Structure 1
């Protein structure tokens, strides 16, 4: 399937729904969302015209078709890879006729078949490549066996507050709706905020970053930042472990402006994309030092 065919056959609203984004309101042919491609929005300004199957973000004056949107959500520029993700890994939404609310047949949804401790060797190998030991992963993640279009797969599941899951495996990134934040309360006076659960697991692998008496929030998407205003106000000190990209920097700036006693921890891994990149790169350096011949 080429780009033109994909844009004609697949619904943007269906794609967004599958990835955990629901409209805030519907006005005629226009579905309005809290923008999922930028941050710090309190009111919906992201519009999808279901008749034209096009989107437009009024907050930044940018719009386009399904592939344009998927490139931004997946943070990829490789159009071929984005098409592959939509048509294979992310094709659990059904092609829709224009001007219809997407109905996703149950046979096409990601459906959980079984969950349990992480034992699959491919998943353990994937964790190893991300620098995460199985003992840490099993404390907070589960091995999900799930079906997708009649095929059965296994992935790492990370549960959110509404009972949905972030889903990961090698080369695959998705979620099982509903999408929400994850809160892990330990009764401490400090709150640590992470963008994704791999960053949270990376933190657990890095004692040098540990903050005592802490609870944790994993956003699972920066578009959910508005949902954490109450805990951000409730805790004495906030420690941010966000990504070192434009979105992460904007989110950190916003939190620091809105709340007192905020420490941006990204300064300690500023040469890396995120905390997991810091973990994996430093592990490689340690391995190279160990492998270096003695002189």
Structure 2
């Protein structure tokens, strides 16, 4: 399946083995083989082989990209897109999102300079210095209304954006989670937030330190994308910041269940920090004395 995704076709096949042009050579020499019964590979020119994870690590390194086992797991997930089972209440309405987002056309993105967006950030309790690190000023066209809009954009791992301004809320597809790498390589902690506002509120208050990695779901329907970002990465503690409501409790339970197989990773829910408020952002605004936006 991975070779199909790379658009590499076999030169020939036997009962137990398929032979391909090598993905590790610009000339694509026919030295690469895969055993069909074990899915193990071997490249004669490199005199090395191994499992699927080993192959992806080697392929990413050959492409001069990050090539840890965690990077390989994420790459496989993004290539194959194996769906994860989510509780029905946490699943998004894909058709609804496609219909809403189809009219939006991306034009350009850059630093936040629009005065209206800066004032919007102030109302949300987010300093411009924090916002500039994680948000972009995005210029879009709404094809149905023929209006051009300046919005705040929070990019995700699939090239899409969550979009916000005082009068507009939407996204440029594809819908996906966002991964923010911490300042310390190999950090042992990862924080999981529902929304960019929750994440930015936590960063503003420094309750999710910049040295830690963070995952922002952008929607509960993206919960199924979390696991590849945790497996093989060496995290010891996952801090989840889900909402104080039924959906948030389901999401917290889902995270606990999904990481059960990751040895040494412990889950700590952080909802007591912002209780009795619904979410981190609402709590942050209350602490500032702002009305909920």
Query: Under a length normalisation based on structure 1, what TM-score does the superposition of the two structures give?
Result: 0.60
Equivalent position of 1:256 in the other structure: 256
Label 1:173 to 1:34 Cα distance change in 2 as closer, same or farther (>3 A): farther
Partner of residue 227 from structure 1, selected from 207, 225, 228: 225
User: Partners in 1 of 2:199 and 2:256 — Cα distance?
Assistant: 20
Equivalent position of 2:164 in the other structure: 168
User: Partners in 2 of 1:161 and 1:241 — Cα distance?
Assistant: 20
User: Partners in 2 of 1:277 and 1:38 — Cα distance?
Assistant: 22
User: Partners in 2 of 1:244 and 1:172 — Cα distance?
Assistant: 25
- Offset at residue 210 of structure 1 (A): 3.2
Equivalent position of 1:123 in the other structure: 117
Runs of 4+ with deviation above 4 angstroms = 32-37, 90-93
Equivalent position of 1:159 in the other structure: 155
Equivalent position of 2:213 in the other structure: 215
Equivalent position of 1:21 in the other structure: none
Bigger fraction of residues in helix? 1
1:149-179 residue CA offsets vs partner (Å, 9 max, x unmatched) = 2211110001111111000111321000111
Structure 1, unaligned runs of 5 or more: 1-23, 25-31, 49-69, 74-85, 94-108, 286-295
Query: Under a length normalisation based on structure 2, what TM-score does the superposition of the two structures give?
Result: 0.61
SS at match of 1:145: strand
Structure 2, unaligned runs of 5 or more: 1-80, 260-264
1:1-295 paired onto structure 2 within 5 Å:
38-39=89-90, 93=102, 109-149=103-143, 150-186=146-182, 187=185, 188-207=187-206, 209-211=207-209, 213-233=211-231, 234=233, 235-259=235-259, 260-284=265-289
Aligned 8 A contact 1:189 1:213 in 2: no
- Offset at residue 119 of structure 1 (A): 1.0
User: Partners in 2 of 1:146 and 1:252 — Cα distance?
Assistant: 34
- Offset at residue 232 of structure 1 (A): 3.1
Equivalent position of 1:13 in the other structure: none
1:54-87 residue CA offsets vs partner (Å, 9 max, x unmatched) = xxxxxxxxxxxxxxxx7xx9xxxxxxxxxxxx9x
Rg comparison, structure with higher value: 2
User: Partners in 2 of 1:212 and 1:127 — Cα distance?
Assistant: 20
1:128-160 residue CA offsets vs partner (Å, 9 max, x unmatched) = 111001111011100011110221111000111
User: Partners in 1 of 2:87 and 2:113 — Cα distance?
Assistant: 34
**Count of aligned pairs:** 198
Aligned 8 A contact 2:101 2:171 in 1: no
1:240-262 residue CA offsets vs partner (Å, 9 max, x unmatched) = 11111211111112222343411
User: Partners in 2 of 1:230 and 1:47 — Cα distance?
Assistant: 22
User: Partners in 1 of 2:161 and 2:179 — Cα distance?
Assistant: 13
Q: What root-mean-square deviation, in Å, do the aligned CA atoms of Structure 1 and Structure 2 show? A: 3.0
